[in-house]
Structure formats: C-alpha cells, structure tokens
A and B are shown apart, each in its own frame.
Chain A
C-alpha cells in the first residue's frame, strides 16, 4: 500500500471525525443530521480507500538449494549451493571431497519456506 493512499485515506477519516464532532451535536436538527451524514460519508470513503490500496504482493519463490555430501560415512563434509539444471538427488558428482578425497553425491534438493506454518491449536 502506497504512502500517498494511506495519507489520503487517513485524512478523509480525520476530516470525517472533525465534522461529526463539530456539527453532529448541533442544536439545529438539520445541521446535526447533515453533519452526521457528511462525516460518516467521509469515514466510509476513507475506509474504502484504505481497503482498495491493499494489494496482494506476490512473493518470489524461495531459491532451490542443492546439498552435496561426502559418501564417506566418517567424513562430515557437505556443500550447499543453488540448484543448477541437471542436478538430481543421488547424482554422483565429478568433483572429489576436499577433506578426504572421497566421492560426492547430491544428498538433497529442497526449498526452505520462511515461515513454515505451525498450528497453535
């Protein structure tokens, strides 16, 4: 939601409130009625503007990660990098482990979502 829309809608609401306070309680019923009506009108315009400015922003998908691990069970080497075309889980890599010179395999390809929803109930 743009700052401009926010300011405009808030000023509509503020103006509406001002009118209701000033004229809403007037002795003359005509002025009171018109003041009430105009104030509430401005209120609803402000609220409608606020709702209309709410855009659903599409988040870019999280990057896909490729995790490569050493095949040697005693070695804990792992490398995490971005997914590259041609990667697949359990693909043997050409490079060798920098720690123990063992062979490397793609252990997993996955995405991590920012907020993995967790139910509170």
Chain B
C-alpha cells in the first residue's frame, strides 16, 4: 500500500467501508427490528384512530334513542370487550350444540344491552344498533390485540413476535378498514353486500306473487319464509326478517321446514355472498354443491345434516365479493347481478326438480336495509 496524500484518503475510505460492513453484519437485525417496529407503530396509530372513531360513531348513534351521551359512553366501554369463550374441543361430541347454545345466549345478551342503552329504538332499529356495536367491538379488539403484540415485542425484543405482527399488518389493516367504512352502513340502516342472498330470494318471491303479508314469521329465530308456486313446484323462499340487520338462524329454519314437510322436499338451494379471489370480478356468480353459509358452524351443520338425513340434493349459488364489499354499502355491481342470480335459481329448479316437488330456496346473509 502506498502512503501519501492520496492513499491516506483511500485508507480512510477503506476503513469506513469495513466499519460499514461490520456495523451491518452485527447490528443489521437490530436496525431492521427498529424499522419494523416503526412500521407497526404507524399501522397501530391508524388502527387506534379507527377504533376511537367507530366508538364515537356508535355513541352518536345510540344517544339518539333515549339515554345521555355520558351514560352511553360508560356502558359502551363496558361492552367493547365482551367476549365469547369457545366450547372445549378436546371432547368434540356435541360441540355444535354447545356452540349453538352459547351463540344464542350471546345474542340475548346483545339484545338486552341494546334495549337498555337505546330504550326508544324499535326492534328493527335495535338490530341495526346491534350491528353497529359489533363493528365498534371488532375494531376495538383488533387494535388491542395488535397493540399487545407490539408492546410485547418491544419489551422482550423478540424478533419472532415483531416479525409476525409486521407480516400480518397489511392484511389486518385491510380488514379493519373494510369494517371501519362499513360502520356508516350499519348505523344508517343501508343494505350491505352480504345482503344479496335475502334480496335474491325476496325478488324471486315477489315475482311469483308473494307480498310482505304472506311472509311466515319466525320459523326459527328471526327467520321466516314465503311460500310461492313456480312452474308447478312449491318453493319455500327462506330469508331472515328485515329491514332490520340480522342473519337469524337459517339452518334451523331449513331443518324445521324439512321436518314439517316430511319427505316432500326434493332440493335445497342456498344463495349467499362468497369471498372472491383477488383478480376475480366483483359480482361474479358461481355455482356449486353444498350449503353456502358462513356462520361459525351450527347453522351450516343443521342444513348439511338435514339434507343428509333426508337424502335431499343441496346446491349453492354465490355472488363473489371482497370483504369491503360484503360489509360495506351494497355496490351497484352486486345489485346488478341479482337478475342473473334469479335466472340461475329458476333454471336450477326447472332442470333439477319435477313439477309437484317442494324446494327450499334459502337466501343467507344480513338483511339490513332489505325489506320483506
């Protein structure tokens, strides 16, 4: 190595270069963790904003119905971390009955809470308030869980904790944003994308002469049906009661209808919204076999078990949507798909049942903003 004015500089550059390599190989992971924590923090701030704003929106909605803002706020905070303990699955026998029981109990508690906090709201408004509350709850839960892992990761310096939450952040933010945008729909009682099932069923029933008065209420909790004649077949068009926001218990309703019409039901058709794959067109219609229903388990099980016990064919027609479209105000594209879904329902009945048969057509989904 040559010494002198020029080589002194190159010596310094060499040293800086090695220092750089050394710092990054020894502390690279630390620097990356710091960077990730900063990114998680940015996401966390957005989650917090959404949680706070949705809580405020829920308070603003509730206080219209008879209680003061302070009372609503105190009670709501007590309710925001209401939880459900899933039944033990070490002994899976009867787990669905137990889960069903717990879900019923939870629905009762929600109803009770809403009537206490909004005594002047009618039953349909109370259902919408229940939905609003659920959205605020989901956002609060997501924020608290992400904050937990963020703080834990920071405290322990555990790379795996930080890495996991950093990797899941984009997906969590996407879902949280979808719910956050949906809270207006629930608070105002606007129809949502998930309501396409009940809408199809009601339009179909109306086309064959059904009126709101002919709707048979409460075959099961908050679910009823229209009985219509279609080209010689009797169709039981099942949907949850509206225009309040509820999904009801459609599985139990299908089960009861099958039992009431001993052996006469020849086909069950379910219509629902389904998650679309990225790249698929919103509002695209797909058909398949099985029960199209996305409940935690008991309702789907009831339909499948009934169909199996009575040897009834079961098919599904779904409208593809993403999360944001399913929980947000109904998009025009989804509304536009309704006539085509009805055509598919008609051809399914025409081609796969005989005149004189009885068919159950079940529209699964949240009926907010969709009248009888």
B335 near A88 with CB under 8 A, answer: no
Cα of A33 to Cα of B369 in the assembled complex, Å:
70
Q: How large is the interface on B (under 10, 10 to 19, 20 to 34, 35 or more residues)?
A: 20 to 34
Select which of A88, A110, A112 is within 8 A of B243 by beta carbon. A88
Q: Which positions 43-91 of chain A face chain B at CB distance < 8 Å?
A: 61, 64, 83, 85-91
Binds A, one of B96-104, B187-195, B261-269: B187-195
- Answer whether residue A102 sits at the interface, using C-beta atoms and an 8 A cutoff: no
Select which of B188, B282, B370 is within 8 A of A89 by beta carbon. B370
- Answer whether residue B242 sits at the interface, using C-beta atoms and an 8 A cutoff: yes
Interface centre among A91, A110, A112, A119 (most CB of B within 10 A): A110
Q: A61-B181, A88-B371 are in contact. List 20 more A-B contacts (CB 8 A).
A: A29-B6, A30-B5, A30-B9, A64-B188, A64-B190, A83-B190, A85-B188, A88-B191, A88-B370, A89-B369, A90-B371, A106-B371, A108-B330, A108-B332, A109-B190, A110-B191, A110-B329, A111-B331, A112-B331, A118-B281
Cα of A83 to Cα of B329 in the assembled complex, Å:
11
A91 near B243 with CB under 8 A, answer: yes
- Answer whether residue B279 sits at the interface, using C-beta atoms and an 8 A cutoff: yes
Cα of A118 to Cα of B283 in the assembled complex, Å:
12
Top 9 nearest A-B pairs (CB, nearest first) are A88-B243, A90-B371, A119-B279, A108-B335, A88-B369, A110-B332, A88-B371, A111-B329, A89-B370
B332 near A112 with CB under 8 A, answer: yes
A89 near B371 with CB under 8 A, answer: yes
- Answer whether residue A95 sits at the interface, using C-beta atoms and an 8 A cutoff: no
18 pairs, CB–CB < 8 Å, chain A vs chain B: A30-B9, A64-B188, A64-B329, A88-B191, A88-B243, A89-B243, A90-B202, A90-B372, A91-B371, A108-B330, A108-B332, A108-B335, A110-B191, A110-B330, A110-B331, A111-B329, A111-B331, A116-B333
- Answer whether residue B13 sits at the interface, using C-beta atoms and an 8 A cutoff: yes
Q: A108-B330, A113-B331 are in contact. Are A89 and B191 (CB under 8 A)?
A: yes
B46 to chain A, nearest CB (A): 9
Cα of A106 to Cα of B370 in the assembled complex, Å:
10
Q: How large is the interface on A (under 10, 10 to 19, 20 to 34, 35 or more residues)?
A: 20 to 34
Cα of A35 to Cα of B184 in the assembled complex, Å:
57
- Answer whether residue A4 sits at the interface, using C-beta atoms and an 8 A cutoff: no
Contacts of A33 in B (CB 8 A): 9, 13
- Answer whether residue A121 sits at the interface, using C-beta atoms and an 8 A cutoff: yes
What 1/0 mask marks residues of chain B from 137 to 155 whose CB sits below 8 Å from any chain A CB? Answer: 0000000000000000000
Cα of A61 to Cα of B177 in the assembled complex, Å:
12
Cα of A111 to Cα of B190 in the assembled complex, Å:
10
Q: Which positions 249-291 of chain B face chain A at CB distance < 8 Å?
A: 278-282
B279 near A109 with CB under 8 A, answer: no
Cα of A64 to Cα of B330 in the assembled complex, Å:
9
Closest-by-CB residue of A relative to B202 is: A90
Q: A61-B184, A83-B188, A88-B191 are in contact. Are A116 and B282 (CB under 8 A)?
A: yes
Cα of A85 to Cα of B61 in the assembled complex, Å:
13
